[in-house]
Amino acid sequence: MLGTAFLWYAITFWAYLETRSVITTAFLGGAYMLGMAVLGVPFGSLIDRFRKHVVMMASAIGTTVFFLLAGAIYLLVPADQLIDLARPWFWLFSSFALIGAMLAMIRGLALSTCVTMLIESDRRVNANGMVGTVNGVTMLVTGVLSGLAIGQLGLGPVILISIVAMAASLVHLALIRIPEPTIVHADGTPKAVDFKAAWGAVIAVPGLIGLIIFSTFNNFLGGVFMSLLDAYGLELMSVELWGILFGVSSVGFIIGGALIAKFGLGSRPLKALLLACLLMWIISGLFTIRASVPLLVAGIVVYMAIIPVIEAAEQTLLQRVVPLSKQGRVFGFAQAIEVAAAPLSAFLIGPIAEFWLIPYAKSPEGRQQWSWLLGEGPGRGIALVFLLVSIIGFILTSMVFFTRTYRRLSAAYAAGDVNADVTADADDPAGPSPDLPGPDVLGKGYTEH
């Protein structure tokens, strides 16, 4: 994940600095989220169909290959043509990098099912917190290094470093083994793209579809921040400093994940998720209220500390109420639906901000109407977008506490763990069941019993 994030951050920084257009960053962010939405269920079906180690190896190989293709375009196309948005080269280059980043998504989905297999029910939330901590370390390192590398080395060395990092992770992954229990597919071996079974598994859990719809609205609003945050940071400082500050701010991920790993989320993770969302909207509405670097950094630190709480709560819910044999498809389905709205908001907000809100905030009329609240300085148009979106998000989240979905899903979680006996097989010192293909058998699926 380190090599993938390092390259994608760097490409986003590089694209904005070369074009000074938030449309470019909105496109990159929106395309990434659109890919996650389209590929969530196919990738989830893949994880349920084959052994986790096999699909993670295939994911790492695919990412490395597409990063190599992106590097080849960078080497062969002159720099002035590569950044010319009227030519196909920028779009082809970013598409290859995007596909490589998309394939890395398989490893993240597989990791969530591995937590179910390998960790006992009452400790899964702590394990999910540790995953959040690792993700925070990754963001810290890549955020700092991407900004420094783009500012001091340029995009070429960044691509080379990313390819080397991916190759190293591939070697490491090839050397590990993951004990897997026997998977019983009561409804038959999953299809390559199993939307029907994924939908059936979701609606079988009372209230789960409501949680997914709530997360979808949250991500619709969150797509705004994904599109404009880098542009806002680069308005206030150099790319090197923004990379350093964004990376250092990622310590929030580490803090949030570590706190969950130590203390958990209590007996009601759904309530913890909603309270975290309320706090997140308060922070996101205030951290750009003035054009202040310290305020921005403090806001990002707290914002990132909240994200592991939200992710760990949702993952813990799914790991407890969805059978392991269907978790890949359910995680993929949930991801596909939840992120589907983010590309729409990302693609919409780029042109809206560039051609309407940013010029309006800079105009005498806009400054007169909003300076009392947003102050003066660069990025006031983006700050206005963040504030309006956060107000909507806070109101929406507050309403969820009073819904039937909240009560039903809380009851489903309290009813017990449907995967309580799964870890017994995974912990067997004899290893995985003999009727299962080993990690060295590429392409063979689980045995149906």
Q: Cβ of 34: how many Cβ atoms within 10 Å?
A: 19
Q: Are 238 and 151 in contact (CB under 8 A)?
A: yes
Classified as helix, coil or strand, 439 is coil
Residue 203 is predicted with a pLDDT of 76
Provide the 8-state DSSP code for 121. G
Q: Are 58 and 170 in contact (CB under 8 A)?
A: no
Tokens at 72, concatenated: 């080849």
Q: For the chain, what are the domain ranges? A: 2-180+195-418
Classified as helix, coil or strand, 85 is coil
2-180+195-418 fold: Growth Hormone; Chain: A; (1.20.1250)
Residue 346 is predicted with a pLDDT of 65
Q: Are 257 and 134 in contact (CB under 8 A)?
A: yes
Partners of 445 in beta bridges: 50
Q: Which residues contact 75 (CB under 8 A, 6 or more apart)?
A: 156
Q: Are 162 and 146 in contact (CB under 8 A)?
A: no
Q: Which residues contact 334 (CB under 8 A, 6 or more apart)?
A: 40, 202, 212, 215, 314, 318
Q: Which residues contact 201 (CB under 8 A, 6 or more apart)?
A: 322, 323, 326, 329, 330, 333
Residue 431 is predicted with a pLDDT of 43
Q: Which residues contact 28 (CB under 8 A, 6 or more apart)?
A: 11, 12, 15, 94, 98
Which segments in the chain show pLDDT lower than 70?
A: 1-3, 22, 132, 135-144, 180-195, 197-198, 226, 338-344, 346-347, 419, 421-449
Q: What is the dihedral of CA 228, 229, 231, 235, to 10 degrees?
A: 130
Residue 349 is predicted with a pLDDT of 73
Classified as helix, coil or strand, 34 is helix
Q: How many residues does the chain have?
A: 449
- The candidate with the shortest Cα–Cα distance to 8, out of 188, 166, 158, is 158
User: What predicted TM-score, i.e. pTM, was given to this entire model?
Assistant: 0.63
Q: What is the spatial distance between Cα 444 and Cα 424, in angstroms, rounded to a whole number?
A: 24
Q: Which residues contact 31 (CB under 8 A, 6 or more apart)?
A: 94, 95, 98, 343
